[in-house]
Structure 1
Amino acid sequence: MEEVEVVVAHQERATLRVGDVFLKIDADQTRTDVEVEAMAIAPIPTPEVLWRKPPVLALAALPGTALGRLGEPSTASSATWTAAGAAVRTLHDAPLPPWPGRSLDEIASELDSECTWLLANDVLPTDLVTANRRIAETAVRPWTPVFAHGDLQVAHVFVDGDEVTGVVDWSEAGQGDAMYDLASLTLGHRELLSDVLAGYGADADLDVIRAWWSLRSLTAIRWLVEHGFDPSSPGCEVDVLRSQL
């Protein structure tokens, strides 16, 4: 009899694994709509959709293992990270999905409100928030949209040896900033950015990637705390903010 593994669970969604099947349960079916459509048109490997009966989406497990985890040293080779960069380039070079991504105004408003919350609740020292906000503002500028994954954290990329076997969790996909995907992939793994860019190509803006590291960390902390995660764990979002200084 297969055991049920709780992969992730919080107030918005839960993912369970039973053998080689992942069951994703999401209260917001618009996110699932995006995920299913994005996987159908993405030019890189994605999980096979086995069936969908709202609010449950069943996906086949990908071969291989996650490229890494935030807060843990990477055990993947440089060649594997380079392969991940090449896969991101393939995605970004694909035709745009037909739905829009987040606007600059939305991103700027979120940055403002989250920094205000961090300071009002004494979550982080004022100088740490202020300095990282200055860095983060570099990311809030016009960009040429690409087919972006939107949540390309390192745990969402699966590899086997030096080959990318697939990418999971497409619910935030849409037209977005290429540098955000690259920053998400390398968050907490800045020492591997050069390997990723070796596969991605030369037209990456390092200042903007660095800005997205700050912005993603600043805007994630409240959500993480409210959903039972600890952004101050070693190597995670708070350490990323400190490393930016």
Structure 2
Amino acid sequence: MDEVKVVVAHSERATLRVGDVFLKVDSDQARIEAEVAAMALVPVPTPEVLWRKPSVLAIAAVRGTALGRLGEPSAASPAAWAAAGAAIRKLHDAPLPPWPSRGKSLEELAADLDGECEWLVTNGVLPADLVTRNRQVAEAALRPWTPVFTHGDLQITHVFVDGDEVTGIIDWSEAGPGDALFDLAILTLGHEEHLGDVVAGYGTDVDLDVIRAWWSLRSLLVVRWLGEHGFDPFAAGCEVDVLRSRM
């Protein structure tokens, strides 16, 4: 009998694995519908949707293994990282989806960033100079961009490879029009050594300073949320180390 494995769980959603089936339980039915709609449109490999009911989506496991994990060295080859970059480029070249961006405006992002920086310093979570430096770096991400079809949460664990081939990209609930460099930044967060491979596979000039700015912005914004939801942003190689690497 297959065991039930909790892949991730917090107050908003949980993902369970039973054999070769993943069950995604989400408090927001709109996220489930968005995920199914996105997977039907994108020109990259995605999991097979087995069924969905209110609050639950069942998908098949994809072949291969995740490109890596935040805080751990990636065993994937440079060619696999380049293949991930090429897959992202195909996504970004696709027609925009027929729904508005699920992300925040530049003004909202700036306000959230200011609030989180103040909270981190006021509560002694991070040193003031570390926060100030990364707030300065993050500024480069707060600029207008031409929207493309983005994944929206392209963590390294959401890209699966088999050898040098991308076999599937999972977790599309945040997909929509967005900044191409945000996707590239989230994929390479904590794995700066593979940024060159990803950009080579992506196949066009990108602004590396903006990608690094997104690393700082993203990390500053999520430290509090991660701590409140049972994750450790201070673990080796994770968000706080990403912030320290900008000093």
TM-score band, normalised by the shorter chain?
over 0.9
Aligned twin of 1:107: 109
Give the superposed CA RMSD. Answer: 0.8
The 10-residue stretch of structure 1 (116-125 or 207-216) with the greater mean CA deviation from structure 2: 116-125
Q: 1:86 offset after TM fit, Å?
A: 0.2
Counterpart CA distance in 2 for 1:242 and 1:182 is 20
TM-score scaled by structure 2? 0.98
Alignment deviations for residues 54-90 of structure 1 (CA, whole Å, 9 cap, x no partner): 1110000000000000000011101000000000000
1:8 corresponds to 2:4 = no
CA distance in 1, matches of 2:76, 2:88: 17
1-structure distance, mates of 2:92, 2:35: 17
Distance 2:43 2:113 in 1: 31
1:202 deviation in Å?
2.6
Q: CA deviation at 1:106?
A: 2.1
Q: How far apart are the structure 1 equivalents of 2:33 and 2:114?
A: 29
CA distance in 1, matches of 2:37, 2:110: 28
1:234 equivalent among 230, 233, 236: 236
Letter in 1 for 2:215: W
The one-letter code of the counterpart of 1:77 is: S
Please list every run of at least 4 consecutive aligned residues from structure 1 whose deviation after the TM superposition is greater than 2 angstroms.
none
Q: Which amino acid aligns with 1:204?
A: V
**Identity among equivalent pairs (%):** 74
Query: Match for 1:240: what amino acid?
Result: V
Q: Which residue of 2 aligns with 1:84?
A: 84
Structure 2, unaligned stretches of length 5 or more? none
Aligned position for 1:121:
123
Q: Which of residues 216, 219, 227 is equivalent to 1:217?
A: 219
How many angstroms apart in 2 are the aligned matches of 1:109 and 1:39? 32
Equivalent position amino acid for 1:10 in 2:
H
**What is the distance in 2 between the residues matched to 1:35 and 1:112?**
30
For residues 114 and 150 of structure 1, the distance between their equivalents in structure 2, rounded to whole angstroms, comes to 20
Structure 1 residue ranges without an equivalent (≥5): none
- Are 2:25 and 1:33 equivalent residues in the alignment? no
Once the two structures are superposed, residues 132-184 of structure 1 have per-residue CA deviations (whole angstroms, 9 ceiling, x without a partner) of: 00100110100001000011011100000000001011111110000000000
Query: How high is the TM-score relative to the length of structure 1?
Result: 0.98
Instruction: Count matched residues.
Output: 245
Matches within 5 A, 1:181-192: 181-192=183-194
Question: What CA distance in whole angstroms lies between the structure 1 residues aligned with 2:140 and 2:35?
Answer: 29
Query: Is 2:46 the partner of 1:42?
Result: no
Q: Which residue of 1 aligns with 2:53?
A: 53
Once the two structures are TM-superposed, the CA of residue 20 in structure 1 deviates from its matched residue by: 0.5
Of residues 147, 150, 153, the one that matches 2:152 is 150
Q: For 1:98 and 1:118, how far apart are their aligned partners in 2?
A: 37
Partner Cα distance (1:202, 1:176) in 2? 18
C-alpha distance in structure 1 between counterparts of 2:30 and 2:244, whole Å: 35
Equivalent position amino acid for 2:86 in 1: A
Partner of 1:69: 69
| Secondary structure, counterpart of 1:24 in structure 2 | strand
The CA distance in 2 between the partners of 1:100 and 1:135, in whole Å, is 28
